[in-house]
Structure 1
Amino acid sequence: MSRTLSTVAGITIVAVNLWLWRVPPGNLVGNQALFNRALLLGFQTFLFAFIGFFIADSVSRFWWNRWRPVDANAVITRKVIVTLQDGRRISGAMHEPAMPASPASRADLVIASYGFNDNQFRAMHVAQALAAAGYRVFTWDYRGRGETPGKITDLEGHVADLRGLVTHFYQAGLGSLHNLHLLGWSMGGMASIIAGLADERVDKIFAWSTWSDLRKRVLWRIYANPFALLRYFFKGELLHVSRSMNVRVSPVHYFDTLARCMGCKEKVVALARDKLFLCHARNDTLVGHDNFVENVRWLQLPRENQITFKKGSHLMIRKEPALIGLACRHFSGTGGRTA
């Protein structure tokens, strides 16, 4: 599909250049030099656009280096390949404290899930901080990331894989695990909520910058932004979410489904109050703060289960220490606060 769209885009660029240079199609017949000129100008336009996005991506990668993990004796990181019950192989990394953990968090496992544009490298700043605090943290490659086969746009597949990871680690560590927690942001927050809220094996869930209704409150922001649209288009990662899929990958619709399965909304509210902590920034322009408000209102989350930052944007820039502290507090069962 992405190759077809790229071909159409290339033909469109050539056609637009023909029009801009006022070259009638009839003049191209038998005039190879004129055709080559139009083709060259079309390629030049594409090249300039590609270089622009390449430079932007390079700057982005440089910016992300601010989170480059620092080698420390406090954390041990090892590569792990997990084989799920359905035979799928998921590559990941286990981050563990080098020193014995405190009794309150001994052997607790946190499965960390990142955002759509992220990867394990961009999740290590969170994983290693939690590991230094005494938790075992597993980061993993989504479908289409790292060594895990598939496509990053397979949102339902990511949820299924996270459920499979919960099953794998629960069965593998049934005698040694103290608790199993889920942590995630943006798309990872969605996956953590949908995969873990109703799962009795999951003790706590900590999520930030996640959406409530993907089609209604997020996708239009991407489609309305030409730079974001072209970026995802050229990378072959443009999301196409049907109405039926949206129900399955949007937390607020998942809450409705769960309420029907459990018999009433009050049971879902009580479940979320016991397990879930949500965070968001008011100036998040990608997944707007209205997503946070909708999730909180549906779940009737108490103030001790939520926090709103005035700034930080979608990436919660410079809020990482607060997030780690709140996550540790939530996982240990001592609650949180709202600011």
Structure 2
Amino acid sequence: MDKSEEIRATHSVTLDWRTAGYHSGWFQGSRKVLGILLFLVVVEFVIWISYPEVEFFLRVFFILLITTASWLLLVGLVNHITAQWVPISAPDVVSKNLHIPIGGEITLNGLEFLPARATPPYPVAITLHGYNSERGQLNYINLALCQLGIAVLSYDQRGHGNTRGDRNDTLFLIRDLNRTLDYIRTRPDFDVSRVIVVGISLGAIIALYEGYLDPRVRHVIGLATTSEYKTMIAENIKPLSKKWWWKLKQRIGGLEVDPSTLQSRLVSPALIANSRKSYFDTPVPWEVDNTQRVLVLQCANDYIVKPDNFERNVKAFHLPPQNVLLFRKGGHAFIRQEMGIVGKIAGWLKERHFF
């Protein structure tokens, strides 16, 4: 069986909202919440039956009952809406399970998307999702790139989705990209001279920091990336604003929101512009053409990573207009800007003869 026949033997890609949406975990989480509510209703009902003279238990029972009914209606509404989405079927794209050992008994788990009609060795894209998300966040990019003949490695980052580990271990999250680049070099069906890294939010930080510093990576593409993390996270935030609540949520979740200068440097792309790795991974000056290497995208109404981060990155990397794209709306997740993102990335890569 030759390579093309082997690829066709794997399953073609069919994705729907549940497997490719921004919040695919909703469907699992909603069932857990429903289970907890039903359990509480039953417990409270038993207590009320045992003590019918206590009016308080009756009130609590009805409150829980109404809450459960409301939740059922909400779940039903979401399921009804998402059922209207036609599944994405891409017969020219096939997928295989992906497992990349990174040490410490941890494996990066996800999917590799392969172009069925292209001939290996394929150019390769590594796509990195954001913090508290999972690999499905960038499936619209994964499928588009694969349709262009590019193999895509899409995995849940450390501590996310189906990958074990601590999601707040930032240093290891960054270094995991090195292991992925090492893995690519073990694959004879991949063209190691044509490797790109695409990331959003935390994934963009990793792309524009670790990916940029590594000469094995040809292009880096960042969506909604910080410039200097400490400046972004420590800016004056209005109490009870969206970002105030976001920062509180991250603090509770264990994310470092009061970083030291050294911690901040590890996640601040603007500080390592025009540098590459040297001994002990120390950044050293590098004469590099960033017009060929870096593409950044941002939404002007992103309340988490505000546009001034975008402007500082553009200045630090000396990026011309063709290397940047600023959307008016879309927020931190680029909602409803997917077509523009895919079009810009595809055009930019084609101009640089990546595929």
TM-score normalised to structure 1 length: 0.70
RMSD: 4.1
Is this contact kept in 1: 2:106–2:165, CA < 8 A?
Answer: no
Alignment of 1:295 with 2:310, yes or no, is no
Q: Give yes or no for the alignment of 1:92 onto 2:92.
A: no
- Change beyond 3 A, Cα 1:289–1:175: closer
Counterpart check, 1:212 vs 2:227: yes
Offset, 1:284: 1.2
- Which protein is richer in strand relative to its size? 2
Distance in 1, matches of 2:184 and 2:277, equals: 27
Unaligned runs of 5+ in 1: 1-36
Q: How far apart are the structure 2 equivalents of 1:97 and 1:150?
A: 31
Residue aligning to 2:183: 168
- For the structure 1 residues 61 and 258, does the alpha-carbon distance in structure 2 shift closer, same or farther, using more than 3 Å as the test? farther
1:156-305 pair list within 5 angstroms: 156-173=171-188, 176-177=191-192, 179-218=194-233, 220=235, 225=242, 226-229=244-247, 231-232=249-250, 236-243=253-260, 244-255=262-273, 264=285, 267=286, 270-305=288-323
**Superposition pairs for residues 94-173 of structure 1, below 5 Å?**
94-100=112-118, 107-173=122-188
Question: Following the alignment from structure 1 to structure 2, what is the Cα–Cα distance between the partners of residues 247 and 58?
Answer: 45
Structure 2: which amino acid aligns with 1:297? K
Give, in whole Å, the separation in 2 of the partners of 1:218 and 1:62: 38
Quote the residue 2:346 is aligned against.
Answer: 328
Contact 1:80 1:94 in 2 (8 A): yes
What is the one-letter code of the residue matched to 1:277? Answer: L
What is the TM-score of this pair, normalised by structure 2?
0.67
Query: Aligned partners of 1:321, 1:79: CA distance in 2, in Å?
Result: 27
* Alpha-carbon offset, residue 251 of structure 1: 1.1
Q: In 2, are the aligned partners of 1:79 and 1:92 still within 8 Å (CA)?
A: yes
The C-alpha deviation readout for 1:63-116, integer Å capped at 9, x for no partner, is 999999613312212211112377642112101222226x9xx61110000111
| Partners of 1:159 and 1:191 within 8 A in 2 | yes
Looking at structure 1, the residues matched to 315 and 82 of structure 2 have their Cα atoms a distance apart, in angstroms, of: 33
As a proportion of its length, which structure holds more helix? 1
Please identify, of 286-295 and 55-64, the stretch whose mean Cα deviation from structure 2 is larger. 55-64
- Aligned pair in 2 of structure 1 residues 316, 331: CA closer, same or farther (>3 Å)? same
For 1:314, what is the secondary structure of its paired residue? Answer: coil
Q: Distance in 2 between matches of 1:163 and 1:63?
A: 40
Contact 1:69/1:125 (8 A) holds in 2:
no
Give the 3 Å change call, closer, same or farther, for CA 177–286 of structure 1 in structure 2: same
1:147 CA displacement:
3.0
Q: Is this contact kept in 2: 1:206–1:330, CA < 8 A?
A: no
Deviation at 1:62, TM superposition (A): 9.7
